[in-house]
Amino acid sequence: MRATLRLGAVVLSVTLGACAAAAPPAATVASGDAAVAALPPPGTRFDQLESDLLAAEDFRLVFSIRGEGLIESDLRGDYRRGPDHRRSLNVAGSFAGDEVRLALLVEDPGLLILEANEDRREVPMPAFLDEALLLGLTRMGLLHNIARLTGRLEPEGARGGFREAAACLCFEERGALDLALKIFWGGDFVADAELRFDADGRPRERIQTVHFPAGEMRVVETYEVFAID
């Protein structure tokens, strides 16, 4: 089973990544008979979301993920970044045909714990863990780092270099709130995604199609709780 999990982790790890924004001008949005204030350009909105996440003292996420196509998955979990050094990511369900129970834990400020079913790995605390997890969420989607966790690998870029290695996102606004993304890695186009927001401007769903040489994978990530304090 571990060989299958590592294969899935490697496939996703070499495929996805993201960084800067190219945004069209903001447009006025009509609501009924009244025109409401124009939203910031899509790239600005995306940058603000990332800034809010990185600056938050407390962040909680409850999610479900379904993947279809080349790599199938059905997962549920939660992530918590507290005001102290504690961090936790817990995931359970099926990935690449195997049942998995995964965890990423920080209980001691100097130690990162990575768990995949019965296997446990402890490594020195990476300096850029929060950046890797939070920008990994916004730019690549959750499944990328969950796939790495099946092989007890740290989140992408947890020891630095994430921003430098990241590719570019091209934005296109869909309706009043949602963003359409085209994701590139190393100059190659690798995925289409749509990030959907609720009326309060919080992400509620990400729908992504990843283009592998051997086929495609469609991933739907649903964010049941997305709370920034």
Q: Encode pLDDT of 208-219 as tens digits.
A: 999 989 999 999
Q: How confident is the model at residue 18 (pLDDT cuts 50, 70, 90)?
A: very low
CA distance 187 to 217: 20
Q: How confident is the model at residue 25 (pLDDT cuts 50, 70, 90)?
A: very low
Q: How confident is the model at residue 42 (pLDDT cuts 50, 70, 90)?
A: confident
CA distance 81 to 67: 25
pLDDT of residue 29: 34
The vertex-192 CA angle with 187 and 195, nearest 5°, equals 120
Strand-pair partners of 181: 171, 193
Q: In the chain, pLDDT over 90 holds for what percent of residues?
A: 57
In this predicted structure, which of 15-19, 51-55, 179-183, 214-218 has the lowest mean pLDDT? Answer: 15-19
pLDDT of residue 188: 77
Assess whether pLDDT exceeds 90 at residue 227: yes
List, for residues 75-114, the tens digit of each pLDDT value.
999 999 998 889 999 999 999 999 999 999 999 999 999 9
